[in-house]
Structure 1
Amino acid sequence: MSKAHPIEGLYDLVTGDEDARVCKDIPSASCNDQPRNFFVYLGANLMSKVADELSSAKLILPWLFGYLGAPGLLVGLLVPIREAGVLLPQLAVAAYIRRLPLRKGVWILGSVLSALALALMAVAALTLEGALAGWTIIALLVVFSLARGLCSVSAKDVLGKTVSKSRRGNLMGLSAGVAGLATLALGLYLQFVADAHANILIFVALLLGGALCFLLGALVFRSIREQPGATEGGGNAIATALESIGLLRSDADFRRFVIARSALLSVALAPPFYVLLAQAQSGGDLSGLGLLIIANGIAGSLSAPLWGRLGDRSARLAMALAAALAGAIGLLTWALAASASPLLADPLAFAGLFLVLGIAHAGVRLGRKVYLVDMATSETRAAMVAVSNTVIGVVMLAGGLIGVLGDHYGAASVILALALGALFAALYVMRLREVSEPG
């Protein structure tokens, strides 16, 4: 009997496999390459996650805009543009991607463009100020979001061809967990080392660090061994898009998933309003940002691997539990605010609330990704990802208008509304069909 390759031994240790070549729904030619591809995808995905945290539209960029003196209107545009810009164009983009039997090049292109956009943001932050700086970074954020969309629509397709069902949740959970540790280190630095009123150079360094991570991720992703895939649906983009939209009508399981994912936006939209409450308590200095980043990092590092394991057993249950947790913490936060509880004025206590929200958000994100990949087939996966993301992009833009409610009634009232939405989402998700196959 031949001795196993070291990478297969590590793969066995990480996944718990007794046979590194367990393959359920990937091409047979990819079985031998699965351990290698697992770690290549893990490394590239880790780099992109760290870069996303270094340029976070819900934490880093709002504080940057404050230093630059950008108008408050632009701060409100950051999260909707960051999210919708990734999602909206994907239906058309997917049609062109389907023409390519090998799609890893699309991810590499998206990663390089993301790096370029972040580097130019750093230049703008260093050389401009006020409204001009804000609008310039907003324009670059549009480019950045579109580039991340290229990565998103191609990554799931490549993952579906290179890593088997019941291993994907573990992979994504590991990358999110390690990225959470890197984010925790950043928060500790801002909290305990950096000057609370530090100058713009810290934010320039964060953006350039994110650009470097994207370039490293692109270099790593080049080495993935991808087998050619189906190219049906790679014709006329408009015709293919209309045909793909028809999946909402013809596939009841997919339609219910899209409705569930729309309801789960109640969790995704909540963090900025927690940040608004936190800013009021910290006075906007860098230490307040550090505490929130620490909480976010701990949430990712502690929960993502556990969500990944649960996602492989039941992605539906992972989504439902995470949404219920987000709803519960939202109700608690609203109650503390409504009663003017001194706990809410304690920065550490507030960071604890944000940590629990981060745990819930991580579960929702990982669960819905695993659910979609497991539900789809190799022939429908790219189209389902594109249709789902496009619909969610529209809903996200509409959901961003909830900020108007915050202007009139305060952030706590918005948190209450989103908490109720999250509880509804948890109930609806449990009506979805089970698609996971524990291995």
Structure 2
Amino acid sequence: MEKRAPHGPMVTPTPGGARMSETHLMIANSLRKMRGQSIGTAGAGGRTDQCHNGNGLVHVLSLSASKTADALIDPKLVLSWLMGAIGAPVFLIGALVPVREAGALLPQLWVARWVQTQSIRKRFWAIGAAVQGVMAVGIAMVALKLEGAWAGWLILAAVAVLAISRSVASTTYKDALARSVPQGKRGAVIGAAGSIAATFGFAYGASMSFGVFGGVSVEAVAGFVFLAGLLFIAAALMFMQLQEDATTDAKENAQAWSEFFQPLFTDRSFQFFILARSFLTATAFAPPFIVMVTVGASESSLTRLGPMVVASALAASASAFLWGRLSDKSSRLSLILAGLIASGVYALTAGVVLWGSGALNMWYATSLMFVAQVAYQGVRSGRSIFLTDMTQNDMRLRYTALSNTVIGIVLLAGLGLGGVAHFAGAAHALLLCAVMAAIGAGFATRLARTECDGVPQ
């Protein structure tokens, strides 16, 4: 039967037409594979299983190195202790965590609009990791050479630059992950890296606790911060080996601000995700309050703090991979379970302090910290994989930046929990965290199911 082409004269298909089309497709495929691309039936992104496996290894190695570096330069413990040891003013020490957390999240809107015009994203993660490495090396040098307020200001400035660099890496990572690792394997990649890094963090904390390196000193801690810098740089070099799918269309144009913010008002699934993630920030706020109700008034606070630090690292090591695998099956379920577990452990901890003995046994508190950190790992895994799976390539960067910016504001608002702890006690702050986590789990039940949950969006 004759058919009319959309534009042109009537044509009659020939028996060899299909074979010619297949031949043209094979030639085009071969040419594009030579350029690191493919079309046709090679699978999502046109990548072979071998390429996917190689990308998975690159992700695991790079993330393991960067996450281990994060543990070695943790501002809540390591940098706070280091700045106190070199005589930095207390108000500078208190500014470390807010500067680092807000600096890593709030700039992401502007970073996203800039990166959005680029077709390859891996280089931005690598640049962010490399700059973090340079700043970590600088912090180590300052700690070894200077003291007092000048040293404190320089370290805080380095932390600010490090945080902005972390913002660049965080904004682009999910996009690079989605372009290089197929859905259904991403949680395992992130989980494996988290477990490896947590194992090294556990060894680090245990070695310091038992004085393997001659006890805690400025020189020893600065040496570990220097090592963190080298790990960041190594992660950057490894990540550049990633085989990433470039955008097939022309470079994306940065949207107007009104269009950029549009998903916050039009995408109902994204709105529920923001609400769930906002309330589940309780899993980040709560651990310091558990420490307060356990070791705050103890004369042997450093001795009692050690096992809790080890418990935190052990929880991450034991659970990160398992949460990753669960998130591959259902990231929504990971968020629900993690929120419920967190709510229960916070309520139990506060209940023992307020209506029980009024004090926590060290080993009981260590067990509670372990469970609390397991829940925290579940939230991290679930939110990361859900956002990666729910969005398309052309929208993922924008959604990541929007969600992280909103959470940055929520984290600043969370300073109010510190006021509650100051005036009413840490146990009451924990009760609020329990309520927040439960509400977050409730909102997570309203999230849309991704394809791996069995129901396409």
Q: TM-score, normalised by structure 2?
A: 0.84
Q: Which residue of 2 aligns with 1:110?
A: 128
SS of structure 2 residue aligned to 1:320: helix
Asked if 2 retains the 8 angstrom alpha-carbon contact of 1:249 and 1:255, the reply is yes
2:100 alignment counterpart: 82
Q: Which amino acid aligns with 1:254?
A: F
Match runs of 1:352-431 below 5 Å: 352-431=367-446
Alpha-carbon spacing, 1:75–1:338, altered in 2? closer, same or farther (3 Å): farther
- Which of 277, 282, 291 is residue 307 of structure 2 equivalent to? 291
Letter in 2 for 1:213: L
Residue 268 of structure 1 is aligned with which of 273, 284, 290? Answer: 284
Contact 1:173/1:306 (<8 A) preserved = yes
Larger radius of gyration: 2
Which amino acid is 1:51 matched to? A
Query: How many Å separate the matches in 2 of 1:208 and 1:397?
Result: 29
Q: Deviations over 1:21-66 (max 9, x none)?
A: xx99841146541010010111101111101111112222233233
The 3 A distance-change label for structure 1 pair 195 and 352 is farther
CA distance in 2, matches of 1:270, 1:385: 24
Specify whether residues 240 and 205 from structure 1 end up closer, same or farther in structure 2 by C-alpha distance, changes over 3 A only: farther
Q: Hey, what's the Cα distance between the residues in 2 that align with 1:436 and 1:84?
A: 33
- Could you tell me how far apart the structure 2 residues matched to 1:95 and 1:401 are? 31
Shift of 1:123: 2.0
Measure the CA separation in 2 of the matches of 1:85 and 1:253.
27
Match of 2:58 in 1: 40
Question: 1:136: Cα distance to partner?
Answer: 2.6
1:115 deviation in Å? 0.6
Task: Output aligned runs, 1:186-205, within 5 Å.
Answer: 186-194=204-212, 198-205=216-223
Instruction: Give deviations 1:333-384, integer Å, cap 9, x for gaps.
Output: 112222463761x433322221111101000001000000010011111111
Matches within 5 A, 1:232-251: 234-236=252-254, 239-251=255-267
**Count of residues paired in the alignment:** 414
Q: CA deviation at 1:128?
A: 3.2
Q: 1:68 to 1:342 in 2, by over 3 A?
A: farther
C-alpha distance 165-266 of structure 1, shift in aligned 2 (>3 A): same
Give the CA deviation at 1:152: 0.8
Q: Which residue, 332, 348, 351 being the options, matches 1:335?
A: 351
Query: Partners of 2:448 and 2:322 in 1: how far apart?
Result: 22
SS in 1 for 2:394: coil
Instruction: State the distance in 2 between where 1:25 and 1:363 align.
Output: 30
Residue 313 (structure 1) shift: 1.1
d(CA) in 1 for partners of 2:211, 2:108: 41
Of residues 178, 181, 198, the one that matches 2:196 is 178
Higher relative contact order (CA 8 A, sep 6+): 1
Specify which of 210, 222, 232 is matched with residue 228 of structure 2: 210
Looking at structure 1, the residues matched to 82 and 268 of structure 2 have their Cα atoms a distance apart, in angstroms, of: 44
The structural deviation recorded for 1:102 is 1.1
Q: Given the two structures, how large is their TM-score scaled by the length of structure 1?
A: 0.88
Q: Taking structure 1 as reference, are residues 227 and 395 closer, same or farther at Cα in structure 2, changes over 3 Å only?
A: same
CA distance in 2, matches of 1:230, 1:90: 24
1:68-96 CA deviation, whole Å, 9 max, x = no partner?
34444334333322222111111111111
Which residue is 2:20 aligned to?
none
Q: Is there any run of 5+ residues in structure 2 with no aligned partner, and where?
A: 1-40
Structure 1 position 209, deviation (Å):
1.5
Unaligned 5+ segments in structure 1 are 1-22
Give distance in 2, aligned partners of 1:25 and 1:418: 44
Change (3 A) 1:316 1:287: same
Which of residues 93, 97, 111 is equivalent to 2:115?
Answer: 97
Q: 1:100 to 1:81 in 2, by over 3 A?
A: same
Which amino acid is the alignment partner of residue 431 of structure 1? R
> What secondary structure sits across from 2:350 in the alignment?
helix
The superposition leaves residues 165-220 of structure 1 with CA deviations (integer Å, 9 ceiling, x where unpaired) of 11101111111111111111012112222589732112202211211110111121
Distance 1:250 1:342, change over 3 A: closer
For residues 281-331 of structure 1, the C-alpha deviation after alignment (integer angstroms, 9 at most, x for no partner) is 565765445323311111011111111111111111101111111111111
Say yes or no: does 1:306 pair with 2:322: yes
Aligned 8 A contact 1:343 1:349 in 2: no
Alpha carbons of 1:73 and 1:408: their partners in 2 closer, same or farther (altered >3 Å)? Answer: farther
